[in-house]
Structures are given as structure tokens and as C-alpha cells.
Amino acid sequence: MKKMINIEVQNFSYKGSASAGLHDISLHIKDGETVLLCGASGCGKTTVLRLINGLIPHYYRGELNGRITVNGIDIPSAELYDLASIVGTVFQNPRSQFFSVDTDGEITFGTENIGIDPDEILKRKSEVVNELELKPLLGKSLFELSGGEKQKIACAGVSALMPDVMLLDEPSSNLDWKAIEELKKVIKHWKAKGKTIIISEHRLWYLKNLIDRVIYMKDGRIEKEWNKAGFNSLTSDELCALGLRPTEIEEKYIEEFGRGIFSTENIHPCSTLSSESRITLKDMFFTYKPQKYFIKKKKLNAADSADYTLAIPELEIPRGKVIGLIGKNGAGKSTFLRCLCGLEKDCTLRLTSDEETVSGRKILKKCYMVMQDVNHQLFTDSVEAEVMLSMDNEDKDQAAKIIAELGLAGYENTHPMALSGGQKQRVAIASALAANAEILLFDEPTSGLDHAHMTSVADLLTELAKKGRTIIVSTHDPELISLCCDHILCLEKGRLKYMRKC
Amino acid sequence: MKEKKLKPKDFITVGIFTALLFVVEFACGMLGFIHPYVVASYVVLIPIVGSIPMMLFYTKVEKFGMITLMSVLVAIIMFATGMGWLGAPLIIISGLIADLIAKKGNYKSFKSTVLSHGIFCLWICANYFPVIVTAKSYRKNLIDGGYSAEYCDSLFRAINSKTIFVLLILCVIFGMIGAFVGKAVVRKHFEKAGIV
Amino acid sequence: MRGIYLDPRTKLFMIFVVSLIVMSNAVTPLEWTIRILLTAIPVFLLITEGKYASALRFTAMYAVSLILMRSFISEDSKGLLSALLVGYCGIVVQFLPAMITAWYVIKTTKIGEFMSAMQKMHVPDGISVSLAVVMRFFPTIKEEYGSIRDAMKMRGISFGGGKLSGMIEYRMIPLMFSCVNIGDELSAAAVTRGLGAPIKRTSAYELRLSTRDIAVMAVFTLSACLFIGAKIIG
């Protein structure tokens, strides 16, 4: 069979950065092959993809020694716009890769750029819409879509260009299980059409049966290679030893929790927390569409709760434990977190802890949320200032203690934005500790993380819980749940489905 | 290797920073609703606050045309948001001059950046054009309606065809002061974080 | 598709005429009639698009200001309050028509349409591409700013710790970091999909001026002529 992609690169380094380059990469991919690139973050997976789609050397500058050809075309001397109909790329972040505001425009964007005839564009569009089942998404604003839906539109936009090679760069990072299933269908469809597919990914379980070959990278080199059977016979321990995410745990947990989340049967909330110290949430009612009197909004109450977005009359949360918050997309997890940390001022929540009951604005003092995009909550120009900003009375010693506790010693004067993703997360946690928040909320803290980083988040959460903080972590990551959660709280349609011990 | 032609990446950069600049403009515009006199202080507010995105933008400018392009966008958006098209020549000409000045400093020299930003800030005065142009008939209308001439004068004291020259000069001065403020912020955050 | 579909070029022409008329003051009843008519058209179009709330808000604002201004001026009243009120109402009456039209155009035009309209008017690609980015970034900035505001609330620094500079800095800095990041990723994604090809961009939907468009343009042209004519004669 003919070789689709040939990479022979002795050396590549990004301009102005010593690390994160590639060395001695020799990779040949056959026409129609599906290849998985795996390895810890920073191992060079994304860089390899950029060699294939031409972003290196045309967009990201650097020192490149070697040859790359795709379908006989020499990438370094080709123009990016000529490659658009040969190599298609789906990127990691669904939020930042779309150019249009509406779904229709996004699907046709690429085809319009390369000057395809309008009739042909419409033909391709309707084809793609049928194949990827996008009918319900047409005519919508991309800003209304969930991450999974955005990712599907991104796939459609690439598909409409009809390239022979499809690259996917950690496409599942921000997706839940259901959306990953959908993504899997898309990849399957491309495979059936004979496309050459290369996927860089941390979450491996959903690709197990799709791939033909697995390339394992480490420090910019190709370390290992398996065929499908060889890869699938690796045990969880072997995968963990390589720093990869075991496939079985995810599958097992999806099986287990998935049933809980997606089944229609009612599991009754159990309350076996009798002996433990607890925090009580009462009257957690919230709706995005409040009934309005002339000027004042109607106060939310239990009697009207049938239509509310979130309605949890009473919930007891064990203190000093890690609680995993699960549920389908749109089940109200984020609303739950927002209400719990006092961001929705119409929420009628009363929070009782240590005989003290707070509501309204005061909840903001009790709880602190580490957001999914942690960049939004870093404000100052140094880690130390960031921590001090949270304190009512600035206390340098206390700040230093917290910083050291989170393993950030030595970074006191570094700009938070210059840190790695994991370190940023720790800075956000540090500022929560400095504010003396009792309950820490985490929104998808492990999305897009590799095995090692995910484990360290799990350890950190356990550690924080041991020190008496109550942790609620909203997640789609079964491995994280299995590693650190003591309890599981499942929501469905804004109602409590169950709360139980792990 | 030095390319002169603007690339898609440059267009996108210009687009983003124009959007950010307009966020500043709209935020200040909101303040304008508090009192019409606040409108006169745009010449101070917008250059200073707007200098934060603008100075970051200047660090990203390497080719001729980006600043001019931004001024064209500003003119179009001013038109589309109902500010009229009278300001367009002023906006685009000052953008072009600002671009030429920055080019003289090779888009590196801070001195030219300061001057360039000062000139670029002239676009802010386009906010006043509709008021100035209608002022005469508007004033006549008020006097016809029984208002004293003094009152009308006081209403238009801050903004009229005479003070506009003062306002234009203020724009340049505060634009230049803003460049220092913006540069300080860029140094404090973006350079320290290694983004630029 | 909902509403009365108009070509983006027609919409731009509407803005042009309205801002032309807004530039000069209306005195005679005829001039007022033209002005109010031209204000009513975009309001009506907003209603056909199902944007009742904004149509209602604009109408109420315009009507109240108009009535207030007329009655206050005729009453020969003085004093600070009425002076202020007249100032406000004057500005609203003067410029609201242009704003309504602009609002309607921005709310109902898709980026793709807008770009192909620009192309039809022989505007260089650079301008239409960057304009499209501006339009895409307003909602993005809104989204990002929402998260940043939440984060500020949690930290208790919504008022910048009491400092004006803090209020601005804590809002602008994270916003700019986010936008620069998104912009980089967006550029990469766009160039892999052929943005910047040195050929004529095509458009999935060919723009064509329909009879509707011509009718609307005719109404606006006629109004403009009448208005200017009335000015010259008056």
C-alpha cells in the first residue's frame, strides 16, 4: 500500500525555546491507517501533528532539519492554503477554533476560503450534515452550543474540505462521555471512508477498537510502537508505568456510573452520614427564568420548584471529604457549583456548618471555586501577590506557608501566567486557602491532563480533604473519581439523583 | 526573512485588538450616559484605558498596514454603530499617519510608539462629530423653544466647533501619556509572563 | 428563515441614510414625519425578526424622549432638572434612530453574509477578515468577561480593592491574556482551513438584491431626497 505520510526529521526546535522540540522522528503512515499518538504532555505529540498540517514551519517558527511529505507534497515548501484540502485538523479547544458565529457559516468556512463553487459548497454541506447528523445544530449560534456540539461542528468544517488526512489534537479534552461517544462515531465514519487518521490523545479507552497502530512518544522521540492487538494486550499497570491512562478503569467506571447517570430508574438518595460531621445545604432553588412581578423577581420557593433549573430542598455533605459531582451535560452541575459558591444571587440556598448558617452574599466567603479555565481567576503579577490579594489582612508569613504547602516555593515572584497549567491551578487553590474558604469547588480540574498530572491533582485533593477542607469536584473523569473521591453526588435535570459512598 | 505582506494571523490580531479597543470605548460610552459632560472627558478616559490593549497591540505590530487597517475598522464600526461617517476621514488619516510614524521607528522604538499612539487617539474625537455638526441647529431649536442663549451656550460649552481643536490636542497629549501607562502595564504583566 | 430577509448591502445603505438624516435637525412637520418613519422601519424589521423586547425598549425610549422634549420646550421652563432632561432627551431623539438601525443590522447579519457583501463591494479581503474577527470576538469577550467577573466576586475584588486602577487592571489583564490565547489558537485553526488563500473567496449563499431590497432602498433614498429638499427649501 502507498505511504500517505512520510516524516524523517532529525531535529526540530521552536524559536526561542530550548525544550519541547523533536529528535530523530521517523514515521511513515500508510493510506487509510488510523494512528494514535500518545505520551505525557510535552512529549511532542502536538508538534508532530503540526509538522503534518504545515503549521510548522509556516505558522510556528523554528529550526527544522528533515523532510515531511504528505501524499507526495513537500510540506515545508507548500503553502498552508494549498494544504487545506489535503490535511484537516480538529483542535483541542472547542472554544477557540471556530471563526464564524453561526454553525452554518462555520461548516462552509473552509470551503469558501479555498474558492469552491457555491453549488458544490452547498452539496458538500448537506452531505456532511447528513453524515454527522448535524441537522439539529444548524442555524444556531456557536456560542449556545456545548463543548461536544462545538467539536462536532469543527469536525464537520474539516470534513467539508474533504481532505485525505485527518488530524485530531486531543479532541476529547473538554468532552463528557456522551460527547466522546459522538466523537467516536465521527472518527469511525472517517475511517470507513478510507481517510488516514492521526489522533493525539490522553484518554485512550474510546479509541481502543478504532486504531491500527499506536506510537508512544517521550521527550520528543518515538519510544515505542504497537499494533492494535499489542496495544490492547497491555495491562493497566504497564500503561500506568508508561504514564498513560489505563483504558479499563475508565470503561469500568463509565459502565458503572454511566448506568447511574443515564438510566431512567430512580435511585433514592441514601443518607448514611449519621455519625460524621457535615455541612447542610437547604433550599437550594434556582432558575434562569424567574417569574417576574412588575419590578421585583418572585422569591424562589419550594412550591414552585417544579420548573426550576436547580431544586435541591436539602442535602447533607460530609465534611473533610472529596465528593465527586457527576451527571450528564446539562444536568445542572455548573449551576450547582455556581449556586453553592454564591455566584447566583437569586439562589435561596442556606448553608449550615458548625451551627452557623449563612446565605446570600456571605456564601462567597465560605466557598471558593477553582474554575475550569483557571486563567480567568489570576489577576496579579506574582504568585505571592495573588495569594495576598485574597487575604483580609495581608500576612506575608501566612502567604509563604500556603505557597510552600502547595509546592510553589521558589515561584513567589513569578507571574502566574508564566506557570504551567497545573501550577496555575495550584495558585488558584492557594488563593482559596488564603481566603480561608471552607468548601473548595473544582470544575473539571483534570480535563486535558495526562496521567501524571491527573494523579497529582487527585493527590492534592485528597491532601486538602485531610486538612479538613470539603472538596466538591465536578468531573467526567472516572479515573479521578476512582483515585480520590469518597462520595459521589449525582445530579439529573437539576435534581439530586443520589449521593452515596464510593 | 522579512515579509512585508500582511498574513491572516495579522488580520486576526488586528481584529482582536480592535474588539478590545471598542470594549473600552463602549464602557466609557456607558459612563457618558451618567452626564453629557462626561462625554467631554472621553479624550482622557479612552486614551489612558485604551492604551493597555493598544500598547500590547503595538508589540505585535511588525509590518506596515496593521495600524492603518485598525483605523479603517474603527471607522467602519463607528459608522455601523450609528456614529455617522463624518469621522471616517479623520480616523483613517490619523491611523495612516500613526502607522507611518511607527514605521519610522521600525515598530520597535518606544519614542515613535508614543507619538504614534498619540496621533492614533485622534479617532476618539470622531465621537463628537455628530454632536458638533448638529449643534448649530440643535441650539437654534432650543432657543426657538424658549431657552436662553446662555443656557444653550453652557450646554455646548464643552463640545463645539471651537473647543474641538482643544479636544483634538488633548487627545494627542493623553494618547502620549497613555502610551507610558500602557507600556508600564505591558511590562508588569505581559513581558513578565513571557507573552511578548 | 424568520423575518424579512434583507441583503447586507441594503442594511448598510439604511445606516448610511439614517446617519445622514440624523446629522441635521428636524424642524418642520414633514421633516419630523420622515425621521419618525425612518425610525419606525428598523423597529418594524426588528419585530419581524422576533426581537420584541428590544423593539419595545427602543420605541418606548424614543417616544418618551420625544414627548418629553416637545412638551418641555414648549413650556418655557428653566432650571437644572429640565435643562438636564432636555439635554438627555435631545441626545436620545437625535441619535437613537441611528442606533436602532445599527442594532438591527448587527443583530440580523451573519458573518458569512457580511463578508460576501464586503467582497461584492470590492472591499479588500484584509478588511473583511479582520471585521469578521471583531464580530466574532464581541461575544467571546462577553463570555470571558462573565467568567472574570465571577472570579472577581469570589475573590471579593469586584471594586479593585478600593482602587480605581485595580478595578481596571483586574478586568483588563485576564481578559487580554484570554483573548491573546484564543486569538493564537483561532489563527492556527483558520489557516489550516485555508484562510488567506490568494484567490477569490466564494460564498455558500450568493447574495442577490431582491425586489424587497430595491423597495427598501427606494424608500430610504426617497426619504433622504425629501428631507434634504425640505431643508433646502425651508
* Structure confidence by residue, pLDDT tens digits, C123-181: 888 898 898 899 889 999 999 999 999 999 988 888 877 788 888 899 999 999 999 99
Specify whether C96 is located in the same domain as C77. Answer: yes
Closest CA to A168 of A212, A207, A220, A224: A207
**CA–CA dist A279, A273 (Å, integer):** 11
Claim to verify: residue C121 and residue C88 sit in the same structural domain: no
Question: What chains are in contact with B, requiring at least 3 Cβ pairs below 8 Å?
Answer: A, C
What rounded mean pLDDT belongs to chain A? 87
d(C-alpha A196, C-alpha A4), whole Å: 8
In a domain, C197, yes or no: no
Q: Which of C75, C134, C187 is nearest residue B9 as measured by Cβ atoms? A: C187
Note whether residue B100 is domain-resident.
yes
Q: Is the pLDDT of residue C60 over 70?
A: yes
Nearest CA in chain B to A59: B9
Say if the Cβ atoms of B146 and C74 lie within 8 Å: yes
Return the number of other C-beta atoms located less than 10 Å from residue B120's C-beta: 32
Separation CA C156–CA A432 (nearest Å): 11
B chain contacts of residue C196, beta-carbon cutoff 8 Å: 7-8
> Higher model confidence: residue C77 or residue A202?
A202
Instruction: Compute the distance between CA of residue C116 and CA of residue C123 in angstroms, rounded to an integer.
Output: 10
Task: Between A192 and C229, name the one with better pLDDT.
Answer: A192
Residue C130 lies in a domain: yes
What DSSP assignment string belongs to C95-130?
A: HHHHHHHHHHHHHH--HHHHHHHHHHTT--HHHHHH
Asked whether residue C123 falls in the same domain as residue C99, the answer is: no
Q: Taking residues B167-189, what's their average pLDDT?
A: 94
- Of the candidates C135, C193, C199, the beta carbon closest to that of A115 is on C199
Give pLDDT, residue C77: 53
**Averaged over A227-251, what is the pLDDT?**
86
Q: Classify residue C198: in a domain, yes or no.
A: no
Q: The pTM is what?
A: 0.89
Report chain B residues whose CB lies below 8 A from the CB of A418: 192-194
Pair C100, C130 in one domain: no
**Minimal-distance CA residue of chain C relative to A79:** C197
Sequence-distant (≥ 6) Cβ neighbours of residue B31 within 8 angstroms: B38, B45
Name the more confident of A39 and A266.
A39
pLDDT of res. A411: 92
Residue B1: pLDDT band (50, 70, 90) is very low
pLDDT at B2 over 80: no
Q: Are residues C18 and C76 in the same domain?
A: yes
Coil, strand or helix at A18: coil
Residue in the structure block whose three cell numbers are 416637545: C70
Q: Once rounded to an integer, what is the mean pLDDT over residues A203-222?
A: 92
The pLDDT score that the predictor gives to residue A289 is 75
Closest C-alpha to B8, from A78, C115, C195 = C195
How high does pLDDT run on average in chain B? 85
C94 has pLDDT over 80? no
Range A138-163 average pLDDT: 92
Same domain, yes or no: C89 and C120: no
Instruction: State whether B15 and C137 contact (CB < 8 Å).
Output: yes
**What's the pLDDT score for residue C198?**
86
In a domain, C1, yes or no: no
Question: Domain limits at C35?
Answer: 8-109+207-233
Query: What is the amino acid identity at position B136?
Result: K
Mean pLDDT score, A171-180: 85
Buried b / exposed e across C5-30, counting CB within 10 Å, b at 16+? ebbbbbbbbbbbbbbbbbbbbbeeee
Residues C135, C151 share a domain: yes
Task: Quickly state the pLDDT bin for C116 (edges 50, 70, 90).
Answer: confident
DSSP string of B80-101, one letter each residue: IIII-STTHHHHHHHHHHHHHH
User: Closest-CA residue in chain B for A378?
Assistant: B189
Q: Which residue of A has its CA nearest to C154?
A: A364
Site of grid cell 486614551? B47
pLDDT at B148 (0 to 100): 61
Classify residue B143: in a domain, yes or no: no
Read off the pLDDT of each residue in B138-142 and give the average, rounded to a whole number: 63
Paired residues of A324 in beta bridges: A473, A488
Interface of A with C in 166-185 (CB under 8 A): none
Query: Does B151 fall in a domain?
Result: no
Same domain, C95 and C121: no
Q: CA–CA distance from A65 to each of A46, A48, A58, A61, C202 (Å)?
A: 18, 13, 14, 13, 37
Task: Quote the CA–CA distance of C85 and C73 in Å, as a whole number.
Answer: 11
Give the residue-averaged pLDDT of A56-81: 91
Q: What pLDDT, on a 0 to 100 scale, did the predictor assign at position B97? A: 96
Q: Answer yes or no: do B189 and A381 touch at CB < 8 A.
A: yes
Looking at the domain assignment, is residue B35 inside a domain? Answer: yes
| C16 and C129 both lie in a single domain | no
* Domains in chain C, number: 2
What distance, in Å, lies between the first and last C-alpha atoms of chain A?
A: 50
Q: Which domain holds residue B34?
A: 8-128+163-191
Q: Is the pLDDT of residue A252 over 80?
A: no
- Confidence grade of residue C186 (pLDDT, cut at 50, 70, 90): very high
Q: pLDDT above 90 covers what percent of chain A?
A: 50
Give whichever of A212-216, A249-253, B31-35 has the largest mean pLDDT. Answer: A212-216
pLDDT at C161: 72
**C1 pLDDT more than 50:** no
Examine residue B74 and state whether it is found in any structural domain, yes or no.
Answer: yes
pLDDT in tens, A418-443: 998 889 999 999 999 998 888 999 99
Q: Which chains touch A (3 or more CB pairs under 8 A)?
A: B, C
pLDDT score recorded for residue A285 = 87
Same domain, C148 and C78: no
Lowest mean pLDDT among A461-465, B71-75, C62-66: C62-66
A59 touches chain B (CB under 8 A): yes
Q: Which helix (H) or strand (E) holds C35?
A: helix C29-48
**Is B155 part of any domain?**
no
For A269, A300, A359, A365, A470, the CA distances from A310, given in Å and listed in that order, are 16, 11, 16, 22, 21
Percent of chain C with pLDDT over 90: 25
- Contact status of A302 with chain B (Cβ, < 8 Å): no
pLDDT digits (tens, 9 = 90+) for A325-368: 988 877 888 899 999 988 988 888 888 887 788 888 888 888 99
Domain assignment present for C202 = no
Can you give the pLDDT at residue B36? 60
Q: Which residues of A touch C205 (CB under 8 A)?
A: 118
* Residue B183 pLDDT > 90: yes
Q: Residue A99, SS3? A: coil
The verdict on residue B109 lying in a domain is: yes
- In chain B, the number of structural domains is 1
What are the CA-CA distances from residue B49 to residues A138, A261, B56 (Å)?
39, 48, 12
Q: Do the chains contact at A415 and B9, CB–CB below 8 Å? A: no
Inform me whether the C-beta atom of residue A417 falls under 8 Å from chain B C-beta atoms.
Answer: yes
Whether the per-residue pLDDT at B134 is higher than 70: the answer is no
Do C14 and C65 belong together in one domain? yes
Region A233-262 average pLDDT: 77
- Other beta carbons within 10 angstroms of residue C47's beta carbon come to 15
Question: Half-sphere exposure of residue A193, counting CA atoms within 13 Å on the CB side?
Answer: 17
Which domains occur in chain A, in start order? 29-60+69-255 (3.40.50.300), 273-501 (3.40.50.300)
Q: Tell me whether B1 touches chain A (CB under 8 Å).
A: no
Report pLDDT for C222.
92
Whether residue C26 is found in the same domain as residue C95 = yes
Q: Does the residue B134 lie in any domain? A: no
Burial A228-250 (b: 16+ CB within 10 A, else e): beebeebeeeebbebbbbbbebb
